[in-house]
Each structure stands twice: as structure tokens, then as C-alpha cells.
């Protein structure tokens, strides 16, 4: 008789945890407090004549890819640390071969020693979901890719979601909405591989038929053109700095302190749970577990035993599809991210 209340408590306990995880994942705390700017306040057109279309209120732009060209924009300033963020909606229907990239880089200033932080969205055939990857490069570490690949828990072509890159002297966090999906904590052993020089923010859409979908098996089909991506509610919260004048970045200490005290700069315990959940469920490749590529994981890797068992030796899950081996060749055009250029080489 005495067992019944115990059992009831037990199921209540599970019920509690079910709701706890559910809410922590999908409503990972309240929204960030962000100051949104218009397109012209922070950005300029980069390439693709006619394929960047401003909204009448200036709050958003559309980037188009058609059979003649892709398109892109770039921040007017370079920033030494910052929070770079936008609401993004990706092209729908058949999008194989299409890449939409949202990234920071200084590749056009520092050819051999550039820094870069990437979100890259990889299109797919009709009925199959978009995937995306994140990557980190520092001081020209192009031979040491640090990519992770994931699926999303929603259809990114149906509505806008916020994608954000936080970069401070201490850590880098990639966010999808308020869910931190990846954190890189600065580690002495990383040396120059941790981005350190001022970077611009870029957004581009372009044809990556030769690698983006199933390793290049499915190409862009221009019968579905134009492919339309939309960007709105821009946030560029960082310290504008001249990349060639180290002294200018020295004036960033106040802004750095402000940045580091923002709620998005530290992962709360609740957000850490949602990050763990996301990675357990939606990450299908991580360089940290790819022991064929890195016999010893790079120094910033935090090895989680349950993840390691899941990924075994290759760092990827079976359903992850092909993952082209990278090479070192790259072009000087800053339109594609370093990952794009390497995979395409």
C-alpha cells in the first residue's frame, strides 16, 4: 500500500523533467535584448547587380540567385569582437546546390592570415530539409577546418529565425534563435587559430553545385530560380576598428566589457541544457570526433563521452551523407567562405 504514493511521485518526477526539457529546449529563456538597425545603417551591397532587393521600409533585404549571378552584402565597418545577427528566411522548394552564407571574415584584408566565423546553409532536393554547418578559422588556419554540421528542428524556409554569431576575446557562440548550438572557449593552446583581427559581416547566396548537396550529386536547377533568401532585423553590436591600425582596436575595451556583460555572452544553465539537447539530436558531424582527420582533437574540443560513442571514429553519423574532403586551394574572392572554397577546390 505504501508503494503507490512513491510510484506517483516517480511519474510526477518524470513529468516534471519532460516539461523542463521541453520548455528549456524550445523556449530557452526569454528573447535577447537587441537593438536592431536598418540595412543602410550597417551594410552595403557587395555583388550581384540587381539581385539585392531592399524592402521599402529598409528593415530587410532579399538576396537572389538566378542563372546569371548570386548576390551578397557586407558590413560597412570591420569589428573587433561583436554580436552579429539577423533574422533569415531561406529559399523554399528545390534548393539543391544553393548555399546561403552568413559569416564574418577579414579575408579581403589579410590574404594569408585571415580570420573567419561561418554559418553556411546547404540547400537540398525537394522534400528534404536544409542543413547547415558552422566553422571557425583564425590567422589563416585553412588547413585546420573546424566544421560541425547539423539539421534544424524547424523548416528554415517557412519563416524567419534569428541566427547569431557572438565573438569576444573569451568565447565564440553560434546561436539559432535563443538556442546556443556551439561554443568555442578561447584556449591558450589554440594560439592564432582563435580569431583575433577585426572582421566584416557578410551574407551571400550563390551556386555551389559542385559540393553543397550530397557532395555535389544534386546541382542547382534553374527551373526553380530565382532562389530567394531574406534578411531582416539586423544587429551589428561590436567595436568598429581599422584592421590595419592595431591601435584602433585598443580603444575597444569599453565595448568589449559591454559585450561580455550582455545576456547572450554567457550560457546560462538552462541554455546549456538546450545546447546539449540540440547537439545530441541535430548534430551529425563534428571535427572533434573525426579521429581519422585529427588523431588528437584540436585543443578547444570538449569531448563528451556519449557524443563520442555516437560518432565513433569518423565524427559523422551514417545518415549524414557525404562530406567532401577538404583541400587547401582557395581563391581570393571573399564571396564564398573558406569552407566553400575548400570543398569546391
Ligand X SMILES: *[C@@H]1O[C@H](CO)[C@@H](O)[C@H](O)[C@H]1NC(C)=O
Q: How far is the CB of 192 from ligand X (least distance, A)?
A: 3
Closer of 142 and 274 to ligand X (Cβ): 142
Residue 171 as a binder of ligand X (CB under 6 A): the answer is no
At which residue does the C-alpha cell 568598429 appear? 240
Residue 191 as a binder of ligand X (CB under 6 A): the answer is yes
Could you say which of 113, 171, 262, 291 contacts ligand X (CB under 6 A)? 113
Torsion, CA 169, CA 172, CA 175, CA 179, rounded to 10: -100
Residue nearest ligand X (C-beta atom): 192
Closer of 197 and 277 to ligand X (Cβ): 197
Element (H, E) at 274: helix 269-282
Q: Are strands 43-47 and 161-167 parallel, antiparallel or unpaired?
A: unpaired
Burial (Cβ within 10 Å: 0-12, 13-18, ≥19) of residue 295: exposed
Q: Within 10 Å of residue 331's Cβ, how many Cβ atoms?
A: 12
Q: How far is the CB of 335 from ligand X (least distance, A)?
A: 24
Nearest to residue 277, comparing CAs of 20, 87, 14, 88?
20
Q: How far is the CB of 112 from ligand X (least distance, A)?
A: 7
Residue 187 as a binder of ligand X (CB under 6 A): the answer is no
Closer of 105 and 133 to ligand X (Cβ): 105
Q: How far is the CB of 106 from ligand X (least distance, A)?
A: 12
Closer of 191 and 251 to ligand X (Cβ): 191
Q: How far is the CB of 167 from ligand X (least distance, A)?
A: 16
Q: Which of residues 38-77 bind ligand X (CB under 6 A)?
A: none
Q: Which of residues 238-267 bind ligand X (CB under 6 A)?
A: none
Residue 139 as a binder of ligand X (CB under 6 A): the answer is yes
Give the catalytic positions in this structure.
116, 120
Helix axes 269-282, 3-26, angle to 10 degrees: 80
Give the E-state strand segments of the chain in sequence order: 43-47, 52-54, 60-65, 71-75, 79-89, 98-105, 116-122, 131-137, 148-150, 161-167, 171-176, 179-185, 200-207, 227-240, 283-290, 314-316
Closer of 72 and 145 to ligand X (Cβ): 145
Residue 299 as a binder of ligand X (CB under 6 A): the answer is no
Query: Which residues lie near ligand X (CB under 6 A)?
Result: 113, 139, 191-192
Amino acid at each position: 500500500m505504501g508503494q503507490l504514493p512513491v510510484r506517483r511521485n516517480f511519474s510526477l518526477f518524470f513529468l516534471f523533467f519532460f516539461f523542463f526539457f521541453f520548455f528549456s529546449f524550445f523556449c530557452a529563456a526569454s528573447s535577447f535584448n537587441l537593438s536592431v538597425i536598418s540595412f543602410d545603417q550597417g551594410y552595403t551591397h557587395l555583388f550581384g547587380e540587381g539581385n539585392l532587393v531592399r524592402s521599402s521600409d529598409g528593415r530587410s533585404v532579399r538576396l537572389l540567385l538566378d542563372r546569371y549571378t548570386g548576390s551578397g552584402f557586407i558590413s560597412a565597418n570591420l569589428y573587433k569582437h561583436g554580436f552579429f545577427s539577423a533574422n533569415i528566411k531561406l529559399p523554399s522548394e528545390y534548393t539543391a546546390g544553393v548555399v546561403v552564407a552568413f559569416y564574418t571574415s577579414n579575408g579581403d584584408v589579410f590574404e594569408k592570415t585571415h580570420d573567419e566565423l561561418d554559418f553556411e546553409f546547404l540547400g537540398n532536393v525537394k522534400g528534404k530539409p536544409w542543413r547547415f554547418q558552422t566553422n571557425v578559422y583564425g590567422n589563416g588556419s585553412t588547413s585546420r577546418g573546424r566544421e560541425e554540421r547539423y539539421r534544424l528542428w524547424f523548416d528554415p524556409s517557412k519563416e524567419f529565425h534569428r541566427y547569431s554569431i557572438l565573438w569576444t576575446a573569451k568565447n565564440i557562440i553560434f546561436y539559432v534563435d535563443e538556442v546556443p548550438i556551439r561554443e568555442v572557449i578561447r584556449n591558450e593552446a589554440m594560439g592564432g587559430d582563435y580569431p583575433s583581427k577585426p572582421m566584416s559581416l557578410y551574407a551571400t547566396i550563390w551556386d555551389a553545385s559542385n559540393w553543397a548537396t550530397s557532395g555535389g550529386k544534386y546541382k542547382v536547377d534553374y527551373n526553380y530560380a530565382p532562389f530567394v533568401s531574406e534578411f531582416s532585423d539586423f544587429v551589428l553590436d561590436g567595436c568598429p576598428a581599422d584592421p590595419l591600425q592595431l591601435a584602433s582596436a585598443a580603444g575597444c575595451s569599453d565595448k568589449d566589457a559591454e559585450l561580455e556583460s550582455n545576456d547572450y555572452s554567457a550560457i546560462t544553465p538552462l541554455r546549456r541544457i538546450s545546447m546539449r539537447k540540440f547537439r545530441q539530436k541535430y548534430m551529425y558531424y563534428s571535427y572533434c570526433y573525426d579521429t581519422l582527420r585529427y588523431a588528437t582533437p584540436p585543443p578547444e574540443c570538449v569531448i563528451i563521452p556519449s557524443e563520442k560513442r555516437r560518432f565513433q571514429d569518423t565524427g559523422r553519423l551514417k545518415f549524414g551523407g557525404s562530406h567532401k574532403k577538404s583541400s587547401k586551394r582557395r581563391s581570393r574572392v571573399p564571396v564564398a567562405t573558406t569552407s566553400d572554397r575548400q570543398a569546391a577546390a
